């Protein structure tokens, strides 16, 4: 006990020693911690990373600011340089209903709903009552939109609404594609939409037609601008700026003729409304070059509004994606193959009532035939039995060679996505027989058109073409010219087939007499095919058929190939031939008239029409009058969107050039105009004109300066004394 007390007393007596020991321990501890910090700082400085995170990259990310430079998507043009598709912003309208939105004592929400609805009804396709319903939602909400009627609004509409200065009404912009012609070869030109996979990218991507085929070329490449900035987004003074310029997309020039395309769309709508086909297609091709001048299908859609692409609507381009049984149109190619192989005897007579192949009896389309007739009448009469005889005489090898040489079962290579190759099988004698008249073989519209070019070009077959050139932002031009893809028949064979096709139109027993046009040399072939039943076999009834017409004109020097198909007319008010003729007759009449009107004597004093599309009206008039050309203007605008004749066309000095401006389409004074000039006006505007008399225009049913609408304009002509 005494020792313990003594020890405590000794400890108490030496406080300095205790403090010294504690101080040494503290010094060593702080030194160790400081050393650890020094080692850590050295490690961080030497390695440049903390917790596997690169400090330089983190600092750059913290102060690095990058702004994307958006590339402009290239335009799509028609053959004359008129815009078919171009970049634009569209606007979505919305209304703020939150009553707390007050700034500097001013209400920033819709408080006068009656006035707001009244004003908006002037600019939206909505009644005032419907707008009020949007502005008075059943459930409380701070903001409302106006459905599809309030989306995809143009810049002009946006500006008009903003001028009204309606409290609480605002619009948001989004990148979009502008299709100024509306329903216009919609499946062929295609569609570009916002890239949903990268919403922040604000880019457009082609999802259909040429927009899809040439998406990468049209899109271009975005650029960027980088610099260091503070937390408020301001660039740090003297910070280095790095810029990579955007590379705008290339422009695609099509072979389409805007005026002809617009006219075709008008005819298609009229026929579709009358007969209500399940599907309807029509194509106009330049017979010599393979250029597609106009192409349309029904049902269709408006790419600007997407009207027609709702739930259940087809996104399929019937012209290249739809493989179908073409019917009797195939007979012209089987006849060509038979003539080429030397197996066709036009003077051989046969019993047209029926023929038995294996266990199958094949009868003619009228079920009774035409009695004993020569094979030379098989095509004009469209005799199924006759063509079974013809392909049997050809033999399987020649039949196979004919189909292959004409390109059936192979893609044409036209610049449109998802093209089908079609199909056929020659293994069965019955199948080979029915293929003679276009059943049990699947083809595409482009294959029929491509094969028809061999008939029109003395045996030389050219590829269908929808694009004429592509021009990059830097000015580099890639041209797509006429491309020969084969010579399946000789010129002599082609000539004989055209003569047989003439008989289809001109002979009293021909199936195409309905399609005769006074003074026109037309070679044609009609077609009727049964429509396959998805459950097997074929659908029954006259309304469940595919009717078609293949026409080449003028037959003595082919310039145009027209191919029309009607599938399953729901309303049979008239025979199928009449329904087709409602489309064919005005279309071919216009083609032939324009072709005749554009001819210029080689000995006359001619010049090349200057290109004035996209010029101001004043500049265009100056350029044309300087060339001693007569200028007439259609519309109230100040910029030229289309011209007729087209740029670089040959024309006589003193001839008329018609200019279409970007304003409202108005009727010019046509007094003294020739018929060919009025036809040019009709083609340029796509409107309906009725021409009466001969000579020069003296009267017009629509006054000069009046808006050109859907009504037919009658122009009377009178010969000068």
**Dihedral sign for Cα atoms in the order 472, 478, 482, 488:** negative
Measured CA to CA, the distance from residue 196 to residue 476 in angstroms comes to 31
**Dihedral sign for Cα atoms in the order 198, 204, 207, 213:** negative
**Could you tell me the two tokens for 5?**
């007390």
Q: Which residues pair with 96 in a beta bridge?
A: 143
Measured CA to CA, the distance from residue 105 to residue 108 in angstroms comes to 9
Whose CA is closest to 157, among 182, 186, 122?
122
The gap from C-alpha 217 to its chain's centroid, in whole angstroms, comes to 16
- Residues whose CB is less than 8 angstroms from the CB of residue 281 and which lie 6 or more positions away in sequence, other chains included: 296, 297, 298, 318, 319, 445, 563, 564, 565
The CA angle 319-274-568, to the nearest 5 degrees, is: 50
**Could you tell me the two tokens for 329?**
């149109």
**Could you tell me the two tokens for 213?**
């085929």
The answer to whether the CB of 152 falls within 8 A of the CB of 173 is: no
Whose CA is closest to 420, among 322, 544, 552?
322
Please compute Rg for the chain using Cα positions: 37
* DSSP letter string, 432-460: HHHHTTT-SEEB-HHHHHHHHHHHHTTT-
Residue 185 DSSP one-character state: S
Measured CA to CA, the distance from residue 170 to residue 604 in angstroms comes to 61
Measured CA to CA, the distance from residue 497 to residue 525 in angstroms comes to 10
Measured CA to CA, the distance from residue 419 to residue 414 in angstroms comes to 8
Q: Which of 82, 259, 296, 328 is catalytic?
A: 328
Cβ atoms within 10 Å of 109's Cβ, excluding its own: 17
Q: Which residues pair with 89 in a beta bridge?
A: 175
The answer to whether the CB of 553 falls within 8 A of the CB of 331 is: no
Residue 533 DSSP one-character state: P
* Straight-line distance from the first to the last Cα atom of the chain, in angstroms, rounded to the nearest whole number: 156
Q: What is the SS3 assignment for 225-278?
A: EEEEECCCCCECCCCCCEEECCECCCEEEECCCHHHHHHHHHHHHHHHHHHCEE
Q: Where are the beta strands (DSSP E) in 472-605?
A: 477-479, 484-486, 523-530, 545-553, 560-569
Whose CA is closest to 701, among 689, 686, 710?
689
3-state secondary structure (DSSP) of residue 131: helix
The gap from C-alpha 86 to its chain's centroid, in whole angstroms, comes to 12
3-state secondary structure (DSSP) of residue 309: coil
The answer to whether the CB of 211 falls within 8 A of the CB of 190 is: yes
Is there a catalytic annotation at residue 603?
no
**Could you tell me the two tokens for 67?**
């702004």
**Dihedral sign for Cα atoms in the order 490, 492, 493, 495:** positive
**Could you tell me the two tokens for 308?**
């027609």
Which residues are annotated as catalytic? 328
């Amino acid at each position: 006990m005494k020792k313990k007390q003594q020890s405590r007393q000794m400890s108490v007596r030496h406080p300095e020693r205790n403090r010294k020991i504690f101080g040494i321990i503290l010094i060593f501890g702080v030194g160790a911690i400081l050393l650890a910090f020094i080692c850590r700082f050295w490690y961080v400085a030497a390695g440049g990373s903390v917790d596997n995170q690169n400090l330089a990259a983190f600092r750059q990310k913290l102060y690095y600011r990058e702004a994307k430079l958006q590339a402009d998507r290239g335009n799509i043009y028609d053959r004359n340089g008129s815009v078919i598709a171009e970049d634009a912003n569209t606007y979505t309208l919305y209304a703020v209903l939150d009553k707390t939105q007050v700034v500097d004592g001013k209400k920033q929400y819709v408080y006068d709903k009656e006035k707001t609805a009244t004003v908006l009804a002037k600019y939206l396709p909505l009644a005032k009552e419907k707008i009020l319903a949007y502005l008075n939602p059943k459930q409380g909400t701070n903001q409302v939109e106006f459905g599809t009627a309030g989306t995809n609004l143009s810049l002009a509409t946006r500006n008009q609404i903003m001028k009204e200065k309606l409290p609480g009404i605002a619009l948001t912009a989004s990148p979009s594609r502008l299709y100024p012609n509306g329903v216009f070869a919609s499946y062929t030109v295609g569609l570009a939409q916002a890239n949903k996979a990268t919403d922040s990218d604000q880019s457009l991507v082609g999802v259909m037609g040429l927009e899809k085929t040439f998406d990468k070329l049209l899109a271009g490449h975005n650029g960027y601008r980088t610099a260091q900035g503070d937390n408020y987004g301001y660039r740090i003074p003297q910070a280095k700026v790095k810029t990579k310029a955007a590379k705008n997309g290339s422009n695609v020039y099509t072979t389409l003729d805007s005026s002809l395309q617009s006219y075709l769309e008008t005819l298609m709508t009229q026929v579709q409304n009358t007969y209500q086909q399940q599907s309807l297609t029509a194509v106009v091709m330049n017979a010599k070059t393979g250029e597609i001048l106009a192409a349309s299908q029904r049902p269709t859609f408006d790419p600007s509004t997407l009207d027609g692409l709702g739930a259940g609507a087809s996104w399929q381009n019937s012209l290249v994606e739809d493989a179908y049984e073409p019917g009797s149109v195939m007979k012209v190619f089987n006849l060509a193959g038979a003539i080429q192989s030397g197996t066709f005897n036009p003077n051989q007579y046969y019993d047209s009532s029926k023929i038995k192949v294996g266990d199958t009896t094949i009868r003619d389309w009228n079920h009774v035939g035409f009695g004993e007739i020569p094979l030379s009448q098989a095509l004009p009469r469209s005799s199924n039995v006759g063509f079974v005889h013809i392909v049997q005489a050809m033999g399987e090898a020649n039949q196979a060679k004919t189909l292959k040489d004409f390109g059936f079962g192979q893609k044409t290579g036209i610049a449109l996505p998802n093209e089908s190759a079609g199909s056929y099988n020659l293994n069965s004698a019955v199948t080979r027989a029915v293929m003679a008249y276009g059943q049990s073989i699947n083809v595409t519209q482009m294959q029929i058109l491509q094969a028809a070019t061999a008939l029109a070009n003395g045996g030389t077959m050219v590829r269908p073409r929808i694009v004429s050139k592509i021009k990059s932002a830097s000015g580099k031009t890639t041209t797509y010219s006429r491309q020969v893809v084969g010579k399946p028949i000789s010129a002599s064979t082609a000539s004989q087939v055209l003569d047989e096709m003439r008989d289809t139109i001109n002979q009293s027993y021909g199936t195409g007499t309905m399609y005769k046009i006074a003074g026109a040399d037309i070679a044609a072939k009609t077609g009727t095919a049964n429509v396959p039943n998805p459950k097997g076999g074929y659908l029954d009834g006259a309304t469940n058929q595919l009717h078609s017409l293949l026409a080449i004109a003028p037959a003595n020097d082919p310039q145009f190939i027209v191919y029309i198909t009607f599938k399953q007319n729901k309303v049979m008010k008239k025979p199928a031939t009449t329904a087709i003729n409602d489309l064919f007759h005005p279309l071919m009449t216009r083609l032939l008239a324009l072709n005749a009107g554009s001819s210029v004597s080689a000995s006359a004093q001619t010049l090349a029409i200057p290109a004035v599309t996209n010029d101001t009206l004043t500049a265009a008039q100056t350029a044309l009058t300087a060339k001693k050309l007569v200028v007439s203007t259609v519309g109230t605008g100040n910029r030229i969107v289309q011209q007729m004749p087209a740029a670089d066309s040959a024309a006589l000095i003193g001839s008329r050039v018609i200019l279409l401006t970007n304003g409202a389409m108005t009727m010019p004074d046509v007094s003294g105009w020739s018929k060919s000039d009025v036809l040019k006006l009709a083609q340029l505007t796509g409107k309906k004109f009725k021409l009466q008399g001969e000579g020069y225009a003296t009267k017009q049913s629509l006054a000069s300066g009046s808006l050109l609408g859907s009504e037919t304009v009658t122009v009377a002509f009178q010969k000068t004394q």
